[in-house]
Structure 1
Amino acid sequence: MLQNLTTGQTENADYSVLYDALYQLYANPLNLNTATHDELAATYLLTELQINSLLAYRADYGVLLSMYELQVVPDFDMATIQRLMLFTTVDEGRGALLRRLPNPTNHYLLIRYQQILEKQQGFTPAEASKSGKLPQRYLGDEQHWYVRYRYSRPRAFSFGLTAEKDAGEQMRWQPGSYQYGFDFVSFHGQVQNRGRWRNLIIGDYQLQIGQGLILSAGFVLGKSAETVQGVRRSTLGARPYTSLSEFGYLRGATATYALSRQLDLTLLLAGNRRDANIIAATAKAEAEVSSLLTSGLHRTASELEARASLAEQNLGGHLLYHPNTRLQLGLTALYTTFGTKLQKRNLPYNQYEFVGKENLVIGLHGSYVRQNVNLFGEIARSSGSQNAGGGIGAVGGALISLSRRLDMALLLRHYDRNYHSFYANAFGEGSRTINESGAYLGLKYTVYRKFSVAGFIDRFRFPWLRYLVDAPSQGYDYLLQATYTPTKKLLFYASYHEEHKQKNRSATKTTPKEVAAGTIRRVLVFNAEYYPLWGLQLRSRVQWTSFRYAGADPSNGFAFIQDASYDRGRWRISGRMALFGTDDYDSRQYAYERDVLYAFSFPAYSNRGRRQYLMVQYAVNRHLDVWLRLSRTQLTNQPTIGSDLDQTGVPHRTEVKVQARWQF
């Protein structure tokens, strides 16, 4: 499902967070008898017409007694119902916490080991140069370890612990350096729906509020093959943080309390340690943060020096008014302080970046549903930057079911070049919610139940300079996709995505660099899924990418991919064989791969060669599942793979993963 949703996507998307949120929904199904409009919309499985039909059916006939009752809900078809059954349930509702606490729906311990078998440069012995200086090397060993424990029941409680050590990192117990064995440790405890206490989380968490101008987290698609539903954010409130991304979450406590049936109040308090490059204080200047780091890697002495070096505190609140299922209004405020002043490098494109130690963002959001029209929007203002003052961020749009077959999305957005919100992730072309204006139109038309077409066009403008773009710039992109499902065992789709943007010419020696008249990226995908035998699924995929600067020769790339999956009894086996070729990195190919549970793989294929993997899962008994995954990339036009410390001395790279899950 994730591969189909991300057709044509290549950049500016955190697919690991998307995968994690989607799998959490799979592991903890949404209760259709209690789900709100926002919760249903956040699944991206239903149109506005279908959501309204389900809510009206519940109001007229009461709770659903079975998932199969969805067949009599107006506007629901079998394809939609089959998708819903993977991610939803019709639970019995709430009960006493002490009675439900000993009966979790999820209670497991998971351990994973992985390693690249070829020796990488960072793990080789360091040889002194002529000056006697030793080159940099990784401080830890080559093993990657991951541990996850979860004890939870949807809409009742959740307790979890996640720990990870990347290859090259050290296992250390140094509380003074904020390391407790594993390099990354995340934890949470959550209780929900206890009287007026809607939600209480202690530990690591994220919040999804409004359209993501101030607080955004979880399952957000943006521009994708889901051309209509993917543009709107849902107000889901606080959720435990379970991803392995070592940034973008809050550590502390948050609580949501129902002041009345129509009014909820959420408060949050958090204290984080963030990775940052800090320029030490001098006699004439205080210490400054030149950049915030988001890789989460701490393998070398310089990476360790930046680890948890910046103290950050957050205090915020959200007031939500929801008098009925149609109307929702909210007020959000977030106050962020840093222990060291933020001051990015003195470069032209950084002129309007945040400077200082304090930032306050206040915003209003709302949504209104009228028949088959959903209007939504948010506006916010930031203040606190010492160099450019505060800026405005605004986004507004509508989802409209024009008929039973035709759905449309409209969205307008504007983010000032001096709008600063550190936990924002609103809809946009850029990877950050800053320095952008745009207009989006998406359509989806069901020709008949087996054949549908969808597409979007988005025009955007960047009023100020950006990284690698030394002038104000603009562009547009569009996507067209056709999907044909002749039977339950056959699915075909074709997708074409074209993007026009401006970018510096890499060969230009002037400062600032000359901005190209334009670049064009084209991605064409043909995909077929079929089930020739019971338990056997095959997927064939051909994709082509072209990238070129205006007036220059294009860089072309292709990939031929064949996947196979077989499920029989206790065994699940899947594999891939891929052939690829690209002129350079500009025409790289992205292709989602199946991986072990809670792992994520979306590699970029570049140069020329082949890639294959084989994964085996075996259910030893009702408690124990084990996975083994082997993957290998072999290049035919390069003597090595990777660069710098990640480089191998041979043209191939082999990775092994072994994982075990014990369900109590």
Structure 2
Amino acid sequence: MKHFYCFLLAAAGLAISLPARPQHFSARPPATRPDALINELLQNLTTVQNEDVDYALLYDALYQLYTNPLNLNTATRDELASTYLLSEQQITSLLTYRFAYGSLLSMYELQAVPDFDLPTIRRLMYFTTIDEGNNSLLNRLPNPANHYLLIRYEQILEKQQGFTPAEPAKNGKLPARYLGDSQQWYVRYRYSRPRAYSFGLTVEKDAGEQMRWQPGNYQYGFDYVSFHGQVQNRGRWRNIIIGDYQLQIGQGLVLSAGFALGKGAETVQSIRRSTLGARPYTSLSEFGYLRGATATYALNRKLDLTLLLASNRRDANIKAATATEQALVTSLLTAGLHRTTAEREDRAILTEQNAGGHLLYHPNTRLQLGLTALHTSFEKNLQKRNLPYNQYEFTGRGNLVAGLHGSYVWQNVNLFGEVARSSGSKTFSGGIGAVGGALVSLSRRLDMALLLRHYDRNFHSFYANAFGEGSRTINESGAYVGIKYSVYRKFSVAGFIDRFRFPWLRYLVDSPSRGHDFLLQAVYTPTKKLSFHASYHEEHKQKNRPGSKTTPKEVTGTTRRVLVLNAEYSPIWGLQLRSRVQWGSFRYIGADPSEGFALIQDASYDRGRWSISGRMAFFGTDDYDSRQYAYERDVLYAFSFPAYNNRGKRQYLMVQYAVNRHLDVWLRWSRTHLSNQQTIGSDLDKINAPHQSEMKVQARWRF
């Protein structure tokens, strides 16, 4: 309980240090820097720890929305919902207003839309626009809204084990070492105009990887190369993409773009996926995207057809062929790291091909029905290791998954759902996946969400990312209820409860299991310069008991608790202070709990051409089970969400400077120092010192 007492003392100190009469503060103008605004949104969305959410994709999606703002006069319900900025009642009000009065003449007209308040309008203005119309491609092509080149260099300053000289072991063999240098490089080029066209190239080399030009091994200088070309809204051709892309369709049972909040601080809107179709892939994650071509064509005003073809080279572990057995793929790798000889041998070793289509019927803004099919094939048989929890995993070379999705809006109720079935080439295929739910605006102050889900243990869908407790859409059933209530303009409360079960074994869980979790949170904003946030999250799940000697291992219950107090204060224009105290514990039933805490102070200052931000954090955890997560502000297109583990402190300082209207530069330094051990990291990442420092330098040239 010692960490809990530290938490209470820090919380009391935080409350005492804040001003006693916040009602005298004047209104703060909205943020002018898009990266500052996006970081503020991410800070609010990540107050609840969720390791299954890819927040890097979330950051990228938010920034792409800023650089490609929605046209409020043509945006669909799904596009508006995907921003997570509007409730169902607000979306319905906007669409009704647009139908009754025609196109908006300016952003200021939003004040006349029922259920819209000023804070919502201010946030919306950064991600939406009132477009001037759909001019010809030839007129727009020479006038891009975004045309820039971005270069980033980063490096860990201390020497890691993987970059030290290799000394022969006792058997005479050299130990593994990284093949490349310790520098990481990232280059991004973009030439685009919202709703018209986009052309982009992204390349990256991770620390430890080599720069090589070997087309025969699918490497072209940098280890990772991603590109796309996109044209939109050319007559009946809604969308054409060549290169790397993702698709977000239905509730994510067949095709999901990977961007989804899951369970977290947004307790209502996050449960529903929006049908956004295809969009270019620009993230640095080296998996989960399709490489090829896709096109969407309007068969008529109510019916759209999307077709896709793709061929990807995948990283994989392959068991070599023998005299009696063919070569088998034992696992698909997703880390995207190719630093050692072993990692290089697994790089781009497997060909995966995809072909599919989507037929969407949308007669009006309230009804939507869609049919989706995707066939995935591998050049070699896929068969995971012969372990009990892998019994129902996909086996074979080919998998077909087809689904039907739909949604219907009645007044302020949005009903949605999807059902899909997989059919593989081997035994144990043929599973069903189903998800259905409702978003309800019971009043201007009260929103609710309900979602039911069931994914068979043999439901196989490689590009799925539907709502769930697990990191994959397989072997799970559950029911979720979320609520958000605005007590009055300055105070709101929210929460959810989710019950789930896993009908078959999972990794580190040697029997069918079940669990539940719930969240309670409150936000109080007495003035536009001061706000408080408090949240409590508790999760109950089952895992193998540590040290169990039985076969299968004994399964026992676990409890994880996280309590967060957060305060934001802007004493003067441009200066933002954020204080955060968080405490957490993890316990196996019948064992002592593992506890941890983090005390965090952030500050950011934006004025003129300068933007400066930094953090000082102190943390302590009993072990990795009680690790604490806290989002950090980073350079543009980079993301930092480290786990605070062991005991020590962490700080960072970042400076951004706009040299002129063309050139922006960033400099970021961060350092973690542990007080309870003499080394940091493990294996080839090990540093023979109790600290790790990282430097990032980035420049963007806007043409």
Q: TM-score range by the shorter chain?
A: over 0.9
Q: Give the aligned partner of residue 447 of structure 1.
A: 487
Give the letter for the 2:615 counterpart: R
Tell me if structure 2 keeps the 8 A contact 1:42–1:219.
Answer: no
Q: How many Å apart are 1:486 and its aligned residue?
A: 1.3
Q: Give the aligned partner of residue 117 of structure 2.
A: 77
Q: Secondary structure at the match of 1:10?
A: coil
Q: How many Å apart are 1:326 and its aligned residue?
A: 0.4
| 1:180 aligned residue (201, 220, 229) | 220
Q: Does 1:532 align with 2:571?
A: yes
Q: How does 1:357-372 map to 2 (within 5 A)?
A: 357-372=397-412
Tell me if structure 2 keeps the 8 A contact 1:546–1:556.
Answer: yes
Q: Does 1:625 align with 2:630?
A: no
For 1:414 and 1:34, the matched residues in 2 are separated by 35
Give the letter for the 2:630 counterpart: A
Q: Secondary structure at the match of 2:74?
A: coil
Q: Give the aligned partner of residue 403 of structure 1.
A: 443
Q: How many Å apart are 1:275 and its aligned residue?
A: 0.4
Q: Give the aligned partner of residue 558 of structure 1.
A: 597
Give the letter for the 1:262 counterpart: K
Give the letter for the 1:319 counterpart: L
Q: Give the aligned partner of residue 369 of structure 2.
A: 329
Tell me if structure 2 keeps the 8 A contact 1:354–1:385.
Answer: no
Deviates more, 1:359-368 or 1:5-14: 5-14
For 1:372 and 1:43, the matched residues in 2 are separated by 18
Q: Does 1:245 align with 2:285?
A: yes
Deviation string for 1:380-438 (max 9, x for gaps)? Answer: 00001512021000000000011111100000000000000000000000000000000
Q: Give the aligned partner of residue 164 of structure 2.
A: 124
Q: Secondary structure at the match of 1:477?
A: strand
Q: Does 1:601 align with 2:640?
A: yes
Q: Secondary structure at the match of 1:502?
A: strand
Deviates more, 1:116-125 or 1:210-219: 210-219
Q: How does 1:19-168 map to 2 (within 5 A)?
A: 19-168=59-208
Q: Give the aligned partner of residue 574 of structure 1.
A: 613
For 2:184 and 2:630, the matched residues in 1 are separated by 23
| 1:611 aligned residue (650, 662, 678) | 650
Give the letter for the 1:583 counterpart: D
| 2:696 aligned residue (644, 649, 657) | 657
For 1:544 and 1:272, the matched residues in 2 are separated by 43
Q: Give the aligned partner of residue 286 of structure 1.
A: 326
TM-score by length of 2: 0.94
Q: How does 1:394-543 map to 2 (within 5 A)?
A: 394-516=434-556, 518-543=557-582
Tell me if structure 1 keeps the 8 A contact 2:303–2:359.
Answer: yes
Q: How does 1:385-396 map to 2 (within 5 A)?
A: 385-396=425-436
For 1:273 and 1:218, the matched residues in 2 are separated by 19
Change (3 A) 1:385 1:590: farther
For 1:333 and 1:107, the matched residues in 2 are separated by 36
Tell me if structure 2 keeps the 8 A contact 1:21–1:218.
Answer: no
Q: Secondary structure at the match of 1:7?
A: coil
Alignment RMSD: 0.7
For 1:90 and 1:530, the matched residues in 2 are separated by 33
For 2:129 and 2:199, the matched residues in 1 are separated by 21
Q: Does 1:377 align with 2:417?
A: yes
For 2:132 and 2:479, the matched residues in 1 are separated by 43
Tell me if structure 2 keeps the 8 A contact 1:388–1:418.
Answer: yes
Q: How many Å apart are 1:11 and its aligned residue?
A: 1.6
Deviates more, 1:491-500 or 1:88-97: 88-97
Q: Give the aligned partner of residue 3 of structure 2.
A: none
Q: Does 1:254 align with 2:294?
A: yes
Q: How many Å apart are 1:13 and its aligned residue?
A: 1.2
For 1:130 and 1:552, the matched residues in 2 are separated by 41
For 1:554 and 1:605, the matched residues in 2 are separated by 17
Q: Secondary structure at the match of 2:111?
A: helix
Q: Give the aligned partner of residue 591 of structure 1.
A: 630
Q: How many Å apart are 1:511 and its aligned residue?
A: 2.4
Q: Give the aligned partner of residue 14 of structure 2.
A: none
Q: Does 1:215 align with 2:255?
A: yes
Give the letter for the 1:642 counterpart: G
| 2:266 aligned residue (226, 238, 257) | 226
Q: Give the aligned partner of residue 170 of structure 1.
A: 210
For 1:550 and 1:3, the matched residues in 2 are separated by 33
Q: Give the aligned partner of residue 312 of structure 1.
A: 352
Deviation string for 1:459-487 (max 9, x for gaps)? Answer: 00000000000000000000111001111
Give the letter for the 1:30 counterpart: L
Deviates more, 1:165-174 or 1:501-510: 501-510
Change (3 A) 1:438 1:385: farther
Deviates more, 1:539-548 or 1:17-26: 17-26
Change (3 A) 1:269 1:259: same
Give the letter for the 1:475 counterpart: G
For 1:219 and 1:84, the matched residues in 2 are separated by 19
Q: How many Å apart are 1:10 and its aligned residue?
A: 3.1
Q: Secondary structure at the match of 2:570?
A: strand
Tell me if structure 1 keeps the 8 A contact 2:54–2:259.
Answer: no
Deviates more, 1:30-39 or 1:256-265: 30-39
Q: Give the aligned partner of residue 54 of structure 2.
A: 14
* Runs of 4+ that moved beyond 2 A: none
For 1:433 and 1:195, the matched residues in 2 are separated by 37
Q: Secondary structure at the match of 2:49?
A: coil
Tell me if structure 1 keeps the 8 A contact 2:293–2:309.
Answer: yes
Q: Secondary structure at the match of 1:533?
A: coil
Give the letter for the 1:657 counterpart: K
Q: Does 1:275 align with 2:295?
A: no
Q: How many Å apart are 1:130 and its aligned residue?
A: 1.4
For 1:260 and 1:17, the matched residues in 2 are separated by 33
Q: Secondary structure at the match of 1:532?
A: coil
Q: How many Å apart are 1:219 and its aligned residue?
A: 3.3
Q: Give the aligned partner of residue 336 of structure 2.
A: 296
Give the letter for the 2:176 counterpart: Q
For 1:389 and 1:624, the matched residues in 2 are separated by 54
Q: How many Å apart are 1:32 and its aligned residue?
A: 0.9
Tell me if structure 1 keeps the 8 A contact 2:68–2:195.
Answer: no
Tell me if structure 2 keeps the 8 A contact 1:10–1:590.
Answer: no
For 1:540 and 1:163, the matched residues in 2 are separated by 37
Tell me if structure 1 keeps the 8 A contact 2:258–2:465.
Answer: no
Tell me if structure 2 keeps the 8 A contact 1:614–1:631.
Answer: yes
For 1:631 and 1:589, the matched residues in 2 are separated by 17
Tell me if structure 1 keeps the 8 A contact 2:616–2:652.
Answer: yes
Deviates more, 1:210-219 or 1:421-430: 210-219
Tell me if structure 1 keeps the 8 A contact 2:197–2:231.
Answer: yes
In structure 1, the gaps of 5 or more residues are: none
| 1:547 aligned residue (586, 594, 611) | 586
Deviates more, 1:6-15 or 1:235-244: 6-15
Q: Does 1:199 align with 2:250?
A: no
Deviates more, 1:166-175 or 1:19-28: 19-28
Give the letter for the 2:683 counterpart: D
For 1:568 and 1:405, the matched residues in 2 are separated by 36
Deviation string for 1:208-257 (max 9, x for gaps)? Answer: 00000000015311111110100000000000000000000000000000
Give the fraction of aligned pairs with identical amino acids, expressed as a percent: 82
TM-score by length of 1: 0.99
Q: Secondary structure at the match of 2:273?
A: coil
For 1:616 and 1:58, the matched residues in 2 are separated by 43
For 2:370 and 2:393, the matched residues in 1 are separated by 28
